[in-house]
Amino acid sequence: MGSPDGDAADTAGAADASTRAAPSPPERLAGRGAGASSVPSPAPPRRGAGLGTGGAALPGPPLSGGSGAPPPPAPTAARPSSSPSDVEEVDKDGNAAPPPKKRRVWPVGTEGIRVDLLCASVVTMAGAHLAEWGKGEETYERAADRFNQQPAKPFHVDGKAVKDRFKLLKAKFEKKEAAVAKESGTVEEVTEMDALMADACSAMNDSRLRAAKAKGETTKKENALLQAGADARRSALARRVRRREERDAGVAADGDGEEKREGGEDGGGTTRSPAGGRSRRRAEIEDEKEEELLEVVRSSAESSRKAEERRCSAEERRLDLEERKLQHEREAYLAEARRQEAREATSRRAAADALAAAAADREERARSLDLIAALVRRLDK
């Protein structure tokens, strides 16, 4: 049996625990309430100061003696938002997607000129700019391999990057050439990059023209052959119909004459054998076939001759351009050689003048020394 004071404390602790609806058993709450009743606290308990909860708010009805309004819900911990790096990217098959590639930035300035020259050089050496249809990707990959083999490369490239960069360089060069062509009377310095791009663009234009001419010649030749065949068939049919009509008319006339002659000689009418007519028709058909073949062969030979003439004229124009280019290069080389020879002659003359001046200076110095020596000897006497 406890004391009356202990019973009152237990009763107050139980009431306090029931109003707060703590999840702990009543006996434990009563014992804790008894321990807390020894400290007077006239103010109502604060939110989140429940017993045995470590400061966390306990669910339940409002405390007695309060305002009667339900306490606001306890703030919950904010859910951390997932950053883009925490989200795993997958492809359409559900596999982990490869990491995104870093953007490739081509250098500018002097380094950019060097890298662009390297790119254009590997493309022209690999022949990617003159590749046939369907072989461009392979040749550009070879150019990219050559680019990556260079020790001074700024970064690793693939065939697509080299192709895109070369197209951009070609577009820039053509734009520059068009701008220079509009300005009359201006002479600009031709750099190594300009010379390389000029040769590459010229070769690409020649290749494109040759391909277009070959395609056009093939199409024209096929059309000419088809037209010649149609004309030959129409003319052969017309000749056949005309000859058949003439032959039928001649056979009818010959048959009437022979019947009259045979009727007068034998006294009876006999029919003429068609063997001679069939042999003549067979011979005429063979002649028509031979004529058709000869006409087709003649037209084909004529079209081939014209195509060969066009090809020869195009080749002559190309050779003329090459000859003029070589002549220009020869003149430029000779002019440079003359300038170099003039510079060397000037330097030789300057060196000879310097040697002569040095010799004269030495002679003058020697005479001065002789005079000084003579004066010294005279003073000594």
Domain identity same for 218 and 252: yes
Question: 127, 139 in Cβ contact below 8 A?
Answer: yes
Residue 222 lies in a domain: yes
Per-residue pLDDT of 341-360, as tens digits, reads 999 999 999 999 999 999 99
- List helix spans (H) across the chain: 4-20, 26-36, 109-126, 136-149, 159-182, 192-266, 275-380
Residue 375 lies in a domain: no
Would you state the pLDDT for residue 289?
73
Domain identity same for 166 and 215: no
Residue 139 lies in a domain: yes
Residue 273 lies in a domain: no
Q: Is pLDDT at 46 greater than 60 in this prediction?
A: no
Domain that holds residue 292: 204-264+286-367
Domain identity same for 231 and 336: yes
Identify which of 193-202, 254-263, 267-276 has the greatest average pLDDT.
193-202
Residue 231 lies in a domain: yes
Q: What is the average pLDDT across 209-213?
A: 72
Domain identity same for 254 and 327: yes
Amino acid at position 276, single letter:
G
* Range from 38-42, 278-282, 314-318, 375-379 carrying the lowest mean pLDDT: 38-42
Residue 251 lies in a domain: yes
The larger pLDDT score, comparing residue 283 to residue 329, is at 329
Identify which of 189-203, 250-264, 280-294 has the greatest average pLDDT.
189-203
Residue 96 phi, psi dihedral angles, 5° rounding: -65, 130
Domain identity same for 218 and 146: no
Would you state the pLDDT for residue 69?
52
Across the strands, what pairs with 196?
none
Would you state the pLDDT for residue 257?
54
Would you state the pLDDT for residue 254?
60
Q: What is the average pLDDT across 137-159?
A: 84
What's the rounded Cα separation, in Å, for the pair 199 and 3?
A: 116
Domain identity same for 306 and 361: yes
Q: Is pLDDT at 282 greater than 50 in this prediction?
A: yes
Q: What is the average pLDDT across 140-146?
A: 86
Identify which of 24-28, 65-69, 82-86, 281-285 has the greatest average pLDDT.
281-285
Would you state the pLDDT for residue 2?
46
Q: What is the average pLDDT across 25-31?
A: 44
Which tokens go with 133? 């249809």
Domain identity same for 240 and 295: yes
Would you state the pLDDT for residue 110?
81
Write 99-108 long-range contacts (CB < 8 A, 24+): 104/155, 104/157, 104/161, 106/154, 106/165, 107/154
- Which CA distances in Å does 192 have to 213, 218, 248? 32, 39, 83
The structure's pTM equals 0.33
Residue 281 lies in a domain: no
Domain identity same for 353 and 211: yes
Question: 12, 33 in Cβ contact below 8 A?
Answer: yes
The larger pLDDT score, comparing residue 123 to residue 246, is at 123
Residue 305 lies in a domain: yes
Domain identity same for 249 and 327: yes
The larger pLDDT score, comparing residue 165 to residue 68, is at 165
Question: 29, 13 in Cβ contact below 8 A?
Answer: yes
Would you state the pLDDT for residue 320?
79
Domain identity same for 125 and 250: no
Would you state the pLDDT for residue 309?
83
Percentage of residues of the chain with pLDDT beyond 70 = 53
Domain identity same for 219 and 135: no
Query: For the chain, what is the domain count?
Result: 2
163 Cβ neighbours under 8 A, 6+ residues apart: 128, 136, 140
Domain identity same for 230 and 349: yes
